[in-house]
Every structure is written in structure tokens, then in C-alpha cells.
Chain A
């Protein structure tokens, strides 16, 4: 082992095993692990309450693990990540900085600038892939173009010659000595005083941290994975893996998740367990969608002329703050939508199907700007993740060739009868409808007065009437799409006129 000193800059890779940056530094000599909290640089992507709560727990967990392996995690709160890194370099005499890649636009720009500035002062910087099976630039079609449909993309990933490899966790860490101004997890200020009581509730349901992630993964793979294809159709209860917040913060290596699921796939194939096989295929597809979210953001960034959300540029949004409020509060009068929004508020989590239903409702029924919805999700989801969130809104808003069409309008009533046939999910989250008979639970507005009365429901009083009926919604959506086409055509005509003028000038 050489005597190199390396700063290991932790970000959203809060784990010990299969952490390429950490592994590389350990192989090379002594290490100085650091986590830098810089709210100023997060700007409007400052994480919401529940996401910050998760981060706080996860950092405490990582801090303990690193300590028991021999190197303490230094926590720094700062106004400039670069200057915090320089402080660490000066304090330790380190000659190298390592970290794992992030692909969101804010991180891309920041990381690039930090690499350049550190290189200028003679520091070597190495960055690694710790977040994905394949880097976004490793997967292209025969013509060298980025894929724009998921199945083709995922097919290519699954047929890559090089298999993703996991790294063993280090046994022992050699610390690089040095003191910088550091703080405790508490001092980072990830949780305001006023947030603590709501957060205490979260702690009863969720256990952040990499070793908890490992346990949940093992339990899921051993017990639930086999039924994933069947269970994922249920919107209530724990029907999916619940791994998204762990994956977001990198408490779990996606390569490890992939390998564990693959092992089961091989086993079930040999046993000719077709349900098991199908379950693994679908679960791997979910992991693939996470990869795809980074892939699309990276290959079709928002500056790009083929930016995948630019189709909505001319959409005539109804920026109605009252509608927005009703949606957030779960008071739209559509039970399935309202149940979802209350679950989100109360637990920081929703099933994928419900995310699709409530986001469709916001965009297609209420014509609310998709960015408002995305921002609200960003603020309230425990697994808030920019790329996954964007992919979700792209999927429902006609921005993807293989997603929903913009004109598609799903009725929450029909969705309810499909995905919550007994109405259990609605009753769980809307106690005011707890006594509604199943027949009417997803469309109380159609129920006879006697039924409503017997169930103790007074529409417009203790539960709202539908904020807009589906026929009106369909009409308005159609008009909005026509309007969008018109405006787009006019804008195109205007720019081509502009170009002509230039030419003649």
C-alpha cells in the first residue's frame, strides 16, 4: 500500500460496499471521507422535509460504519463545496480527490467546475460509476444514436458484453490525519425544530441507512420478489420492493440489486417457475427505468433541441392556484386521487400506479403546469429523485414515444375499480368515505342519496363534489391541445419569417 492520501467525497453513494470511489481510495493509501452540505448550491432543488430527514438518518448511519472501520466521516456545512474540498486538502496534505458520478444537470455542472479548479491547483481527481449498471454514454444504437424508446434501450443493456461487477466492501480503513472545521449531523441543519414532530412519525415507518437497505433487499428478494408480477398491481400495502429512497441516496448499489435478482432468475428458470421468472423480468425492468431516467436526462438535456419535454412548451396551462391546492390537499372529489395525495402527505411515498394517476389528473383534468406537480413531488417524496421524477412526468404527458399520449385521459373511477376493486385503499386514506359501499366508493357522486346518507357522506360538506366532471375535462383537454398546435405553428411561422428577414438583410 502506498502512502497516498485521498479525499473521498461522499454524495449520493452513502454506502460502504460496492462503492467504487471508496474502494479505489482504500487501495491507494489513507483516506479522508467527507460529506459536504451546501444548501446554497442546491438552489431550488433544495430537498424537501422528508428527503432531508432521510439524508440525516442515512449520514448518521454511514458515520458510525466508517468510524468502526477506522476512518471518521467529516461533515461540513458550507457556502461553497469547492472551498470545503480545498480546506480538506490543505488540512490533510491529500493529493487526490475521488467521488462517484451524478447525472442531474446541477451536479454535472458543479462537478465539472470542481474538477477543473482542483486540477488547476495540481490535485488529481478521479470519478467513478457508482450509481448505474451502465454509463449513459455506453448505450447507443447501431447508428451511434441514443435510444428514445425504453424497450430497445433495455434490450441493449441486457445484451451488453461486459457485465456490471460489484466490489467487496473494505475491511479496514486507514485514516488520513488532519483537522478541518467540521460539524455534527445535527449541526448540518437538515431538520428544523418545527419539522421534528412530523419527522418522528416517519421514523416509525422507515429505517434509512445502508445496512437497513441490505436487510430490506434480502427480505424482498427472498420473500416477495417471486410474487412481484402479481403484487405490483395492488396499490395498497407493500406490494413492491420499497427500495427507491435507498437507491436514491446510494445506500444500496444498483449492481448488487441487479445481481441478487439475476441469481433468482437463474434459479427459477431451472425450476421452471414461470411466475418467478416473469417477476424478475418485471423487477429488472423497474431497475432499468431508473437507469433510463438518467440516460434520457443526460442524452436529451433541457438545452437540447430534441429535449423530450419541449413538446409542452406551447401548452396553454391553467395556472389555477385553487385547483393546485385542492389537488395537493386531496380534495378533488375523486377518491382514488385524493387517497393518493393524502398517502403522499402522510408517508412520503406512493405506489407507482398512484403516482401515474395523480400526476395525470393534475395535467389532464386540471391542466396544471407539470412543473408545479413535479415540484410538489420533489418537496414531499421520500425518494424524491430529479431524473425519476422527470421521467414520470414525461411518461404521462405525451413527451415519450412509448409513454401515454397527451390526449389520453384516464378516468380515476375506472382506474379505481381496476386497481382498488374493494376500495380498501380509498377507505384507508379517506376516513370520511370509510362506510361507502364498494359499488360507489370510486364514484360517490353517482350514489343514491339514501346510500350517501347511510354512509354518513355529505357531498360538498364532508367530502367534495368532483372538482370537474370527466366530460368537461375531456373537452378542455382537447381544446388545450388544439390551442397548443396553433401556437406552435404560429411560433414556427414567426421564426421562419425571422430567418428570412435575416437572409434578406
Chain B
């Protein structure tokens, strides 16, 4: 369409903007000497809490239930028109 053609010509497209942004910030990257994230990291150095997060209790049940739901409703998937 016309609009699309215009957009494709547009120098200020997303990709161009990002490229310019990269050029602007490169070389001006401040490496914070006093790193602000040290505090946050302490939590993660303890693996047990991390593992608990990736494997919260009730996960097995939640998976089973979702699969069950999904299989029951699978056939009534919405089917409207395909588009691009």
C-alpha cells in the first residue's frame, strides 16, 4: 500500500533510529565504578531461593491442570480468517 511504501522510504524507521542510537551511545558508555547491583545480587548467590523460584511448589499440579484444560478445549479453538 501507499502508506507502507512511504514507511519503507522513511529514514526514521525503527531500524535506522536504533542504528543512530548505537552510534550515539557507543564510546560514551559509563562503567559505573560503584556498581549499583551488588546488593540485589546477594539474593541470587543463595541458590536455594533461586531453585525454589524455578521450581515453585504446586508446579506439577499446575502443569497437569493446564494440559487437561488445553486438551479439553483444544478442539474449540477459535477459527476466524487468516491474515498477514
Contacts and interface: CB of A to CB of B under 8 A. Distances in A.
Interface of A: 17, 20, 23-24, 43-45, 101, 105-106, 108-109, 111-113, 115, 126-129, 135, 137-138, 163, 165-168, 201, 204-207, 212, 215-216, 218-220, 222-224, 237-238, 242, 256, 259-260, 263, 298, 301-303, 319, 321, 325, 328-331, 342-343, 345-347, 369, 371-372, 375-376, 379, 428-429, 431, 434
B45 A346 contact: no
Contacts of B13: 215-216, 219
Contact of B7 (A105, A215, A376): A215
Given A24-B78, A137-B70, A207-B14, A106 B22 contact: no
Given A105-B55, A108-B59, A372 B45 contact: yes
A431 B27 contact: yes
Question: Top 5 nearest A-B pairs by Cβ distance?
Answer: A205-B21, A112-B62, A431-B27, A302-B55, A302-B54
A218 B51 CA distance: 40
Interface string B52-84: 011111111111011101110110011111111
Contact of A165 (B17, B49, B73, B82): B82
Given A112-B65, A138-B74, A431-B26, 13 more contacts: A17-B83, A44-B49, A105-B56, A108-B59, A113-B62, A207-B14, A242-B14, A259-B84, A302-B51, A329-B31, A375-B44, A379-B40, A428-B23
A325 B67 CA distance: 42
Given A204-B21, A238-B19, A379-B40, A109 B62 contact: yes
A429 B14 contact: no
Contacts of B24: 204
Interface of B: 4, 7-8, 13-15, 17-29, 31-32, 35, 37-38, 40-41, 43-45, 47, 49-51, 53-63, 65-67, 69-71, 73-74, 77-84
A163 B81 CA distance: 12
Contacts of A260: 84
A45 B53 contact: yes
A375 B41 contact: yes
Nearest to A137: B67
Contact of A137 (B18, B45, B50, B71): B71
A108 B62 contact: yes
B53 A105 contact: yes
Interface residues of chain A: helix, strand, loop or mixed (majority) = helix
A97 B81 CA distance: 24
Interface centre among B23, B31, B84 (most CB of A within 10 A): B84
Contact of B56 (A109, A205, A212): A109
B66 A372 contact: no
Interface centre among B41, B61, B66, B67 (most CB of A within 10 A): B66
Contacts of B77: 129, 165
B62 A329 contact: no
Contacts of A343: 22, 26
A216 B21 contact: no
Contacts of A24: 78
B35 A329 contact: yes
